[in-house]
Structure 1
Amino acid sequence: MQERHAPELPAVVRLAFLSVLYGRRSTLWLGAFSQLVVCGLLFFWTWDAAYIGFAALLGVLLFVRLFDMYLFDRVRDKEALDNRALAMWERRYVAGTASVFTALGFLSFYSIYVVNDPFAELVSLSLVFALFATVVGRNYSSRPAVVLASLGALLPPMVAFALEGAMFHVVFALLFIAYFLTNIQMTKGLRDTLFDATMGKHSLALVAKRFDCALNNMPQGLLMFDADQRIAVSNNKARTIFRLPDNVRLHGRSVDVLLRYSVRHKVFSADELGDINKRFFNLLAGRQAVDVFRLADGRHVECIGNPVAKSGAVLIIEDVTQRLQVEARIHHMARYDALTELPNRNHFATLVHAHLYRHDPDHYAALIVIDIDHFKHINDMLGHQMGDIALRQIADRLNALDPKRYIASRFGSDEFVVFVSSLTEEQHVSTVTQELIGYLCGEYDLDGNKVPIQVTAGVVTEKACKFDVANMHIKADLALYEARRGEKQRWAVFAETMDIKYRNRQQLKADLRQAIVDRNIHVVYQPIIDLHSLRIVSCEALARWNHPTLGPVPPTEFIPLAEEMGMISEITRLVLHQACKDCHSWGDRICVSVNLSAIDLRNNQIMQDIAAALDSVGLPPRCLEVEVTETAIIADRDKASALLARLKNSGITVSLDDFGCGYSSFSYLNTLPLNKVKIDRTFVRDVMTDKRSLMLLRGITQLSHDLGLAVTVEGVETEEQLALIRVAAGADLVQGFLLGKPTSSDEIRRMIAQKSTGRASVQPVLA
């Protein structure tokens, strides 16, 4: 189509226009009949055979147009035609229409100019104008058809009138132009109207199609009700939720009909139909905004009602089964421990409070904090997976306790907390605790590994009316700490003295932290004597803390505190720097030894700290000795061994301290990179009265010498012990109160000056 709308016309609109042209064939038959009648009438009036020819021509054109329309009807999928194909069909139609009206125009020309009979002229023009009136009505959807048909019908009679030469004929012919222009304007108006209507219909159909697509692809079901609360619109999801077959018509049905269908298909239970019906009407009436229904198969659907004043309501239905399951799981995770399924700390407190509310406030209740002994060893030896299995099995035993009386929880790691109610008297807790510990202790099967597990507990009791979980937990923790400190003590009951001790301990921690920051930890030195020359060859550096109010705090007290606080490496660093500085001031004949803890051996910075201490005063590495205990090595033997090897290779002496106690193993002497062994004081204590102690001392010394290791004997406190060790033990070095107590650097310098009478070698015997 060539009009102004053509470039913008979509194929579906062009097809609608073309359907107007090829349809409405009744006017075509009436026009053809009138044409043949007029041709016959003119023939019998004039006996001119040309009119028979015009009739034959019009008949042929009618046949051609009808055949073309037949071919158009045969096109099955007209919606598949593109603009190019549709334009071809329009050209064929325009050609047929223009041919018919051109033939009628020449019929008028022949009657006016050739026959020149008034009756023939009148009849011919009447036929042209009568049929010309149908041009716009039938062909307005195609502007080319109207234009060409009008030109074909009007130009020949205009030419005939002009050839007549009479003035009134010429004026009459000019009036044809106005008639032509009027038809064109009418065509334009009608076509624009058709265009707008068709485009509107197309847009509406497109919107409806999109709406239908969106409606039926919604993840929620939708039911739209009219003012009479009958279903006006529904989508496929709603049918799916309510399990309605496709042949069930919902339009115009009420809610109760929908629900009866649902009951029939076992979506809802018949017993609940009345209640469900009432709840649905509450949603439609706006008395309730949201409601969740449980279906017969266990699913849950959420219905949201949105009533519209005087227009009905919209009901959105969504399957929220998965969402509710996720919410329930999240709710469970927020309240229960993921590994053991026991209540967590917060939910435990809630359960305890609810339990206390229901019971006699004058009865006693207990809180028991339980720790697994040496649980880290299970993880280290068997792996964390076996540790998790152990925790789950302990939790299973706790879960099996009477829930009316016991509430168990896992607070973290290997710590379990048990609340016990309905204790008639405070002393009753001892029996309960003993039974509980006996129930938990024993052999556990960890995937085929038979592992004995023991637990330690701290207990606190209080009347139900005064019971506070947070406060009781603190007290039970103090009792647990006390139980761990006791020898062969499985559990302990809280006493007020524990609280005082705990507060003192916490204050001592704070004071120690400040002392380390202020560098108020000082270093003293205990001499190590050559057994043969009795000269000082080395000194052991020992940390000391003089508390401003408590006075001297024993190392056995503040060193474990520092390890617990994670500040032992700060003390080690301080001692290293001070010891290297003091050793440098004694001259190059005296060495100094510094103890390293298990935490120091795991500290990646320890090598840098030692190097920095040596470099700060220019002390040769051979003058520094590091002492490590067997208990420090066993925590991570491979890493400790690698670190000691680096120290030994750098020229620093490595000594195994306290050999013979703890986890003593002769394999350490062979596998660890050592220079020296320090035999624990326990071998010296009974050496004068117990031959076995002397034999062990001699055996360890001989074995160490055979392995190329020097031997230092600690704890020498009497002249008799010294004499016996010099004669029978065969050690290299000795250390003890007899030979010198821990003292200051200045005192060591004075002792060196007094005892040094020559420049004999005072270096330790090294491998």
Structure 2
Amino acid sequence: MGRTKTENIPADVYIQFVRSLFDNAHMLVIGGACYWILGFMIYLRTHNPLFLAFSFILLSISLFRYFGIRAFRKAGGVIANVEEAQQWERNYILKGSLQGLGLGALCFISIYVYPDPFAELAATSLSLATLVTVVGRNYGSPRMVRIFSVTFIGPAALALLLRMDVPSVVFGLMIIPLTFITINSADHVRNVLFSAVIGHKEAKKLAHRFDRALNTMSHGLVMLGPDCLVVVANAEAAHLMSLKSADALLGRSIHGLLMRGVAGGMLAPKDCRYIEAQLTRALREGRDRKVLVSLANGQHYEFSAREGSQELGVITFEDVTARVEAEDKIRFMARYDSLTGLPNRAYFQELIGEAMASGDLERLCGLAVLDLDDFKSVNDTLGHPVGDGLIYAVAERLAAVAGPGVTVSRFGGDEFMIFFDRVEDESHLISQIDAIFIDLQGEVDVAGHGLRIQASGGAVLSRVKDTDVDAMIVKADLALYKAKELGKNTWRLFEASMDAAFRNRQLMKADLRTAVESKGLRVVYQPIVTMSTMRIASCEALCRWDHPDLGPISPSIFIPLAEEMGIISEISTFVLHAACTECAKWPAQTSVSVNLSAKDFRNRDVVQK
């Protein structure tokens, strides 16, 4: 590793390195004792008091460093900031330098000043042995390592070189590289530890982020090992499982987790087996799968299984009660009428289509359509809230009829549909509809208004294989139109002649529209004679229509058709224009009169034209 790796180390790492200098203080006491013993032994061998003095000096320096470290420990062993760390490092370097200089001086004196074989061996061995401990103890301070390396080796190498004999010079040169080896070894140790510390910090930071992400999830999550036992779980999973902590989930199997729901009466055993099978299969096959579970207390949970990396499986689950209830509400709103709660038009047709597609296709079924008579006048005179109240009252009475084989729907506005499945015969259908009309009779109170329910209806009886929903609705409507023609407040069963009459009526409407657009109508004039003079005083303009196939059509037929189609104002305008044009040719005393429809007085179409 390069030496520059830790040049700009983070403050907290630098503080930790400095703090490492103050560990293992007892080693200084052991070292000091060794220094004193060897110094004393050299003194006994040489009888030179200088070596005795060195033994006590080195012992004193070792004790001085030892008590300095003890003082650091007594102060709490805590370094608050970089400045404080630098101060402690300088203090350590100062005391360590004294030891290095003392030991180096002992080597120089033993080798060059007062040479003695034993003194040389003892001093050199002591320096090398101390140098070995420098890497492991002082890696946290590069300056201290360099000082120790120079002070331990430098004086000994210099002394050997000064002796000027070949063996000593060679030996002196050979020990000089120990300085660089020691420095590089310390740098290597420091870089390795630096990488480890940084890696630990990153791992700790990553673990913290993972833990935070895991435990702030809105989903419960468990991670399964290769043995299908939980190895990771988050706080939400513990909460949803009614456990105090996520640790309580560790080591459990999918079966064990689901059995908690069975034991609490929230989950049926068969549901437990189904869920376990689905999740286990998804994990085994490596496919994503979701399972919606409805609990006994009305809650809904969604389990999602997916295969993770390194043979780990992941299961997430969440409380989706609000979502399921919202979906049910949306589904209800899409299928049922908001006022009455009955199936709406689309859902009614879906239900009837499914019912007719199943079962015996030879069976008879019936469909009835009911329309409230003069309902528009209720809305116009009493307001729409009262009209809604009347609709709701009718729906309540019809809903009582619904049951197996009978489906009731609000088809829209004031129109209701009733489907009868498995009708025995025509008399059976007639008796059912008659009973419904009898139940509808009577008054209802709506917001203080007594309203009488009056309805007209049409019905059709068909064999399932010979018809479909749309065809039955058309035929029931035709029967309804016939009931209204006969005076309302009654109902009629569809007959084939109604279909023919309806088709003829539709064709006549189309031909009438063509005649109006192509001005195929004509105007005749009925003279009005003054009885006193027996002279023509005026004429009444009358519209006539000669059908190309049917011949002359009575106004009593085509005028109501025109009113129903909304083209009566065009006929009135045509007659007025023709009458005025013709009247302009008559004598001045002769006038003309034109008949207008009641609908012409309700709009301004004729006036504007």
TM-score of the two chains, using structure 2 as the length reference: 0.78
Q: CA deviation at 1:350?
A: 5.0
Q: Distance in 2 between the 1:132 and 1:584 partners?
A: 139
Q: CA deviation at 1:455?
A: 0.8
Q: Tell me what 2:204 maps to.
A: 205
Structure-2 change in CA distance of 1:581 and 1:126 (3 Å): farther
Q: Tell me what 1:276 maps to.
A: 272
Q: CA deviation at 1:306?
A: 4.4
For 1:544-555, what aligned pairs fall within 5 Å after superposition?
Answer: 546-551=546-551, 553=553
The residue matched to 1:249 in structure 2 has which SS?
helix
For 1:68-467, what aligned pairs fall within 5 Å after superposition?
Answer: 68-71=72-75, 73-74=77-78, 85=81, 87-108=82-103, 110-111=105-106, 116-118=113-115, 123-151=122-150, 178-246=177-245, 249-264=248-263, 266=264, 268=266, 272-273=268-269, 276-277=272-273, 279-280=275-276, 283-286=279-282, 291-306=291-306, 311=311, 313-352=313-352, 364-401=364-401, 403-404=403-404, 406-421=406-421, 423-463=423-463, 466=466
Letter in 2 for 1:197: A
Letter in 2 for 1:66: R
Q: Tell me what 2:485 maps to.
A: 485
Q: Distance in 2 between the 1:113 and 1:310 partners?
A: 63
Q: CA deviation at 1:494?
A: 2.0
The residue matched to 2:391 in structure 1 has which SS?
helix
Determine if contact 2:369/2:459 at 8 Å carries over to the other structure: yes
Determine if contact 1:105/1:154 at 8 Å carries over to the other structure: no
Structure-2 change in CA distance of 1:17 and 1:459 (3 Å): same
The residue matched to 1:207 in structure 2 has which SS?
helix
Q: CA deviation at 1:418?
A: 1.4
Letter in 2 for 1:102: S
The residue matched to 2:60 in structure 1 has which SS?
helix
For 1:669-748, what aligned pairs fall within 5 Å after superposition?
Answer: none
Q: Distance in 2 between the 1:353 and 1:213 partners?
A: 54
Q: CA deviation at 1:203?
A: 2.8
Structure 1 gaps, min length 5: 76-80, 614-767
Q: Distance in 2 between the 1:214 and 1:396 partners?
A: 54
Q: CA deviation at 1:479?
A: 1.3
Structure-2 change in CA distance of 1:193 and 1:215 (3 Å): same
Q: Tell me what 1:64 maps to.
A: 68
After superposition, give the CA deviation of every residue in 1:110-159 in whole Å (9 maximum; x if it has no partner).
44667822356665554443323222223334444434554565566677
Q: Please report the RMSD computed on the Cα atoms of aligned residues, expressed in angstroms.
A: 4.8
After superposition, give the CA deviation of every residue in 1:609-667 in whole Å (9 maximum; x if it has no partner).
83xx5xxxxxxxxxxxxxxxxxxxxxxxxxxxxxxxxxxxxxxxxxxxxxxxxxxxxxx
Structure-2 change in CA distance of 1:542 and 1:482 (3 Å): same
Letter in 2 for 1:280: E
Determine if contact 1:65/1:96 at 8 Å carries over to the other structure: no
For 1:611-630, what aligned pairs fall within 5 Å after superposition?
Answer: none
Determine if contact 1:42/1:51 at 8 Å carries over to the other structure: no
After superposition, give the CA deviation of every residue in 1:736-766 in whole Å (9 maximum; x if it has no partner).
xxxxxxxxxxxxxxxxxxxxxxxxxxxxxxx
The residue matched to 1:462 in structure 2 has which SS?
strand
Q: CA deviation at 1:399?
A: 1.2
Q: Distance in 1 between the 2:577 and 2:152 partners?
A: 122
The residue matched to 1:118 in structure 2 has which SS?
coil
Q: Distance in 2 between the 1:279 and 1:363 partners?
A: 41
Q: CA deviation at 1:416?
A: 0.3
Q: Distance in 2 between the 1:587 and 1:38 partners?
A: 161
Q: CA deviation at 1:405?
A: 5.1
Q: Work out the percentage of aligned pairs sharing the same amino acid.
A: 33
For 1:592-631, what aligned pairs fall within 5 Å after superposition?
Answer: 598=599, 610=608
Structure-2 change in CA distance of 1:165 and 1:405 (3 Å): closer
Determine if contact 1:365/1:467 at 8 Å carries over to the other structure: no
The residue matched to 2:221 in structure 1 has which SS?
strand
Determine if contact 1:3/1:143 at 8 Å carries over to the other structure: no
Q: Distance in 1 between the 2:445 and 2:555 partners?
A: 42
Structure-2 change in CA distance of 1:386 and 1:557 (3 Å): same
Q: Distance in 2 between the 1:527 and 1:33 partners?
A: 153
Determine if contact 1:223/1:238 at 8 Å carries over to the other structure: yes
Determine if contact 1:524/1:541 at 8 Å carries over to the other structure: yes
Q: Distance in 2 between the 1:19 and 1:543 partners?
A: 117
The residue matched to 1:103 in structure 2 has which SS?
helix
For 1:45-60, what aligned pairs fall within 5 Å after superposition?
Answer: 46-48=48-50, 49=53, 52-53=56-57, 55-60=59-64
Structure-2 change in CA distance of 1:361 and 1:596 (3 Å): closer
Q: CA deviation at 1:477?
A: 0.4
Q: CA deviation at 1:371?
A: 0.5
Q: Distance in 1 between the 2:129 and 2:297 partners?
A: 75
Q: Distance in 1 between the 2:27 and 2:255 partners?
A: 54
Letter in 2 for 1:67: A
Determine if contact 2:369/2:416 at 8 Å carries over to the other structure: yes
Structure-2 change in CA distance of 1:326 and 1:157 (3 Å): same
Q: CA deviation at 1:525?
A: 8.0
Determine if contact 1:105/1:156 at 8 Å carries over to the other structure: no
The residue matched to 2:456 in structure 1 has which SS?
strand
Letter in 2 for 1:91: Q
Determine if contact 1:538/1:592 at 8 Å carries over to the other structure: yes
Q: CA deviation at 1:107?
A: 1.4
Q: CA deviation at 1:326?
A: 3.5
Structure-2 change in CA distance of 1:390 and 1:50 (3 Å): same
Determine if contact 1:243/1:267 at 8 Å carries over to the other structure: no
Q: CA deviation at 1:333?
A: 3.7
The residue matched to 1:229 in structure 2 has which SS?
coil
Structure-2 change in CA distance of 1:92 and 1:56 (3 Å): same
Determine if contact 1:363/1:425 at 8 Å carries over to the other structure: no
Q: Tell me what 1:670 maps to.
A: none
Q: Distance in 1 between the 2:251 and 2:461 partners?
A: 70
Count residues with an aligned counterpart. 594
After superposition, give the CA deviation of every residue in 1:24-61 in whole Å (9 maximum; x if it has no partner).
55545544544555566677754234664554344333
Structure 2 gaps, min length 5: none
Q: CA deviation at 1:341?
A: 1.9
After TM superposition, the structure 1 stretch with the greater mean CA deviation from structure 2, 55-64 or 532-541, is: 532-541
